[in-house]
Amino acid sequence: MTKQILVLPGDGIGKEIIAEAVKILAVLCDDFALDVEITEGVIGGAAYDAYSHPYPEETKTQARIADAILLGSVGGYEYDKLPRDLRPERGLLGIRADLGLFSNLRPAILNTELADASSLKPEVVAGLDIMIVRELTGGIYFGEPRGIRELESGEKQGYNTLIYKESEIERIAHSAFKIAMKRDKRLCSVDKANVLEVMELWHEVVERVAKEYPEVELSHMYVDNAAMQLVKDPKQFDVMVTGNMFGDILSDAAAMLTGSIGMLPSASLDINGKGMYEPIHGSAPDIAGKNIANPLATIMSVSMLLRYSLDEEALAQKIDAAVEAVLKNGLRTQDIATDGDHVVSTSAMGDAVAIALRDLK
C-alpha cells in the first residue's frame, strides 16, 4: 500500500535541505520501487505567515493522516518578537505533543571520513556510535504551571515546572531498553537525583523497568558528570536515556563530537512507531538562502524514516552507503570541510548523494 509522507520544510535553511532529501526520495521511488506519496505542508514561521499560527489546523490534519513526517527546521529572527505562543518553536513543540512523539532518538555516529572535523583528538572519537534517547513530550518543556508573574514587590519572576509521571518515565525507559537490546546492551540513565525529587523518581522507575531487561547493563549518571564524560571519553557510552531538557543539551554536545551538527538526523516516535524525522540542527537563518547548508543530516533522517516507520531497512542502508561514498570521494559542505577539501553547495551535495544512490541499484 502506498505510504503517505508529509514533508514540512519549515524555515531558514529548512527549505533548501528538505529539497535535497526529496531528491533522494524521488530516486528511491524511480529506481528502487519505493511506494510513497509525498505531500507538503507548513510549520513554524512559514505556517505563521500562511495561517497566523505555527502549527495550524491544516497541518494538524495532514500530520495525523501521514504515515511519517519529514521536517526541516523552524525559527527565524523575524518571528522573535511574536507572542511566545505564536513563535515557530511552538509549532515544533505543538506537533511533538499533538502526535504523542515521546521518544526522541538522536544518534551520534562519527563517520570515519570525518574524524578530522571533530574538535577532539581522533583517537577519542574514532568509531564513536552513541544513541541518545530523549523524552520529548514531558518534563520542564511542558510542565504547568509556567509563566512570568509580577510579585507584590513589583519585581517579575519567571517560573517553569519540571514534572514527570511514573507512566511517562516507564515508557521512555522501555523505549531505551529496547534500543539497547538491539545494540551493545548498555544503557546509561542520566538524571540529577542528587538535587531534584522528580529525578529521584526517574532513577527509581528506570531501576524498576530494568528488571524486565536483565541482559542490559544499566548505569546511572548525574547530568553534569554526563556532560563532562561525553567530552572526556565519549566511547564509554552505548545508549543514554534522559529527560527532555537534559536530552536537548546533551544531544547538541554529542553532535559536536562528530565534527558537525549538520551531520546528525533524529527520529521522534509515538507508541506505535509512527514518527517524525528531522535533522537535529536548527534553521540557521544566518546562512539561509545561500545554498551552503549541509543537507546530510536531513538525507540521513530519510534513512531513519525508512528504517523506523516504513520497515525498509535495506533502502535505509543504501542511503547510508551513498552518503559514505560521497564523503569518501572528498565532497564536503563548508561546515565539515578541512584544508584541501572539495567544498560543494547544498544542492551539489544532494545531487552527489542521488547519483551515488543510483549507482547502488
Distance CA 249, CA 253 (A): 7
> Which residue ranges make up the site for Mg ion (CB under 5 A)?
248
Distance CA 297, CA 19 (A): 13
Residue 341 Cβ, how far from ligand IPM at the closest point, in Å?
Answer: 28
30 tagged catalytic = no
Contact present, 101 and 69 (Cβ < 8 Å): no
Distance CA 300, CA 315 (A): 11
Choose from Mg ion, ligand IPM, none: what does 18 bind? Cβ within 5-8 Å by kind: none
Distance CA 20, CA 275 (A): 20
Instruction: Please report the DSSP string for 295-357 in residue order.
Output: -HHHHHHHHHHHHHTS--HHHHHHHHHHHHHHHHTTEE-GGG--TT-EE--HHHHHHHHHHHH
224 tagged catalytic = yes
Collapsing DSSP to helix, strand or coil, 136 comes out as coil
Residue 39 Cβ, how far from ligand IPM at the closest point, in Å?
Answer: 23
Instruction: Give me 279's grid cell.
Output: 535533522
Stretch that binds ligand IPM, among 86-94, 119-127, 219-227, 234-242 (CB under 6 A): 86-94
351 tagged catalytic = no
Q: Residue 98 interacts with ligand IPM (CB under 6 A)? A: no
35, 80, 224, 359: the catalytic one is: 224
Stretch that binds ligand IPM, among 56-64, 88-96, 340-348, 351-359 (CB under 6 A): 88-96
252 tagged catalytic = yes
How many of the chain's residues bind ligand IPM (CB under 6 A)? Answer: 5
Distance CA 267, CA 307 (A): 10
Q: Residue 92 interacts with ligand IPM (CB under 6 A)? A: yes
Stretch that binds ligand IPM, among 85-93, 206-214, 227-235, 334-342 (CB under 6 A): 85-93
Task: Look up residue 28 and give its amino acid.
Answer: L
Q: Which of 135, 248, 312, 335 binds ligand IPM (CB under 6 A)?
A: 248
Per-residue contact string for residues 260-299; x = within reach of ligand IPM by CB under 6 A: --------------------x-------------------
Instruction: Give me 94's grid cell.
Output: 505543538
Residues that bind ligand IPM (CB under 6 A): 89, 92-93, 248, 280
Catalytic residues: 141, 192, 224, 248, 252
